[in-house]
Amino acid sequence: MNQTNNKKKMEFPHTLIIILIMIVFAAILTYLVQAGQYDRIEVAGRKVVDPSSYHTVPANRATPFDIFVAIPAGMQAVAGIANMVLIIGGSFAVIEATGATKAVLAKVLKMGGHLGAALLPIVIVAFSLLPAFTGSAESMLAFVPLGILFARTLGFDAMVGLSITIAAGNAGFASGLFNTMTTGVAQTLLGIELFSGLWYRAIGYGLLLCSVSFWTVWYALKLRKNPARSCCYNVELAAKEEMTEASEIDSEMTPRRILVLIEFIAGIAFVIYGTLNGWDFGPKLGGVFLIMAVVCGLTGGFNGNQICNEFVEGAKKVLVGALVVGFAKAISLVMDQACISDTIVYAFSNLLSGMPKVVGALFMYIFQIIMNCFIISGSGQAAATIPIMGPLGDVLGLTPQTVVTAFIFGDGLTNLLLPMSAATMGAVAIAGISYGQYVRYIWRIIVTNLCLGGVMVVIATMIGL
């Protein structure tokens, strides 16, 4: 009895509890931090901060009631993303129910399954490309169910599935190769050529991919020796009861399944096309996934009721993820309504002035990491901080390109950890794991990537990028 009680006491808090604690902390900050604002001016059609315009404003402290009001307000603000989490979960459930994806995975295993963990770096590179070129980290949620299925079919767990999709996608996003939302906005605000310095970001991209690949393969090999070492072993035991063993998967490629795969590939290609052409993570992409669900379901031989039942079951599995996205948005809403976000930016920018170049660049990098906890939007963080960091970089003797480097790595890398990140928490929900289990796995990748980001900032400073 005592052992059972101790286990219950040691149980990791639910993700929604963690986020609620952060909302309360943000509310407490409204009593400790002076309210203030920067004036916004329009530059090249975009509203940005005027670095010299910071001024205090009357306090608008959050009440206990405001804490709870911020949650539905947050859900309303990110309804598009939350809806997409539900639609993706439901659509993939319909597609998987046809047996087409499992059949093709069984074929892949028969042809190259003996390679095992050696396949993972190839898949990681492939999944990293979309965020690297589109700047849409949330788009990776579309591939999470497939990545988890692929990993489990190889004999690994859901963590490996998240690693080859979300962690890989984060490497592509954080490198800022052609990321219009981070690199593009920052370089435009600093008045330097769009996507200049590509060669240096490509080096960072390669290093981040090496980090993700190394730790993913390292973990996968551990599982190969002892599956009980899985960070989400309880989840895998439950999944095994539902999932047929790889050797028993029906690999027959019937005409129906071939058509389903063609339709599925065409749908994913259209998602990529839409993302590359500026579609946001909203109704248009959601419409594509719904079309995929209906068309693939009918092709797979399902009637209307069967399609709906499979869709609802899939949506149920990711419902927590939809809630998490809304809860997380409440954190920034509390801070914005109290006008303390700009004050935090102002305080950190003052702290950095007068430092040596390398030290100043590293602190600038750390500053962006910290600010990403408060301003989760990449373009929003660029608009709020770059107009301040740019002049500060001039004072410290840093080139604008180095300022951009500190920003893109500082903004992007911690998205893989933050419970405010829609991509991260949506993926955790789709995988059916707890946030604590996820952190237990992902911390090695995050720490390594943050160190690599710091090295890239230091080298950029030393070579005068």
Collapsing DSSP states into helix, strand and coil, what is residue 48?
strand
* Tally of domains in the chain: 1
pLDDT for 121 beyond 70: yes
Contact 398, 357 (CB under 8 A): yes
The answer to whether position 17 is within a domain reads: no
What whole-number distance in Å separates Cα of residue 285 and Cα of residue 291?
10
**Contact predicate 204/197, CB 8 Å:** no
In DSSP terms, 42 is beta-bridged to 47
What DSSP string runs through 172-230? HHHHTSS-IIIIIHHHHHHT--TTTTHHHHHHHHHHHHHHHHHHHHHHHHHHHH-GGG-
Return the pLDDT at 44: 56
Average of per-residue pLDDT across 67-91: 83
pLDDT confidence of 389, banded at 50, 70, 90?
A: confident
- Residues 388, 392: Cα–Cα separation, whole Å: 6
Q: Is the pLDDT higher at 438 or at 188?
A: 438
For residue range 327-359, list pLDDT tens digits in order.
Answer: 777 877 888 888 887 887 788 777 777 778 899
What is the reported pTM?
Answer: 0.70
1: number of CA atoms within 13 Å, CB side?
0
Site of tokens 């990449």: 378
Stretch (H or E) spanning 408: helix 400-412
Q: Confirm whether 28 is domain-assigned.
A: no
In a domain, 34, yes or no: no
Structure tokens at 390: 């740019």
Structure tokens at 55: 């001024």
In Å, the largest CA–CA distance within the chain is: 69
Q: Which of 339-353, 361-375, 449-463 has the highest mean pLDDT?
A: 449-463
pLDDT confidence bin for 305, thresholds 50/70/90:
very high
Q: Which two tokens stand for residue 273?
A: 């096309």
Does a structural domain hold residue 15? no
Q: Is residue 1 part of a domain?
A: no
pLDDT per residue as tens digits for the range 410-429: 998 998 988 777 788 888 88
Residue 186 corresponds to which tokens in the numbers above?
Answer: 């920052």
Nearest to 189 by CA among 359, 339, 408: 408
H-helix or E-strand containing 55?
A: strand 55-56
Q: Is 137 exposed, middle or buried (0-12, 13-18, 19+ CB in 10 A)?
A: buried
- Answer whether residue 23 is part of any domain: no
pLDDT band at 53 (very low <50, low <70, confident <90, very high): confident
> For the residues of 216-260, what is the DSSP string, one character each?
HHHHHHHHHH-GGG-TTHHHHHHHHHHSPPGGGS-----HHHHHH
Residue 134: predicted pLDDT: 63
Q: Which of 288, 122, 105, 142 is nearest to 213 (CA)?
A: 122
Q: Convert the pLDDT of each residue in 122-133 to its tens digit.
A: 889 988 887 887
Residues 174-186 pLDDT 10s: 998 877 678 877 8
Tokens for 6, please give them.
């101790």
Position 445 pLDDT exceeds 80: yes
What domain range includes position 302?
62-461
Average pLDDT, the chain: 82
The pLDDT assigned to 339 comes to: 87
Packing angle, helices 422-431 and 79-97, rounded to 10: 30
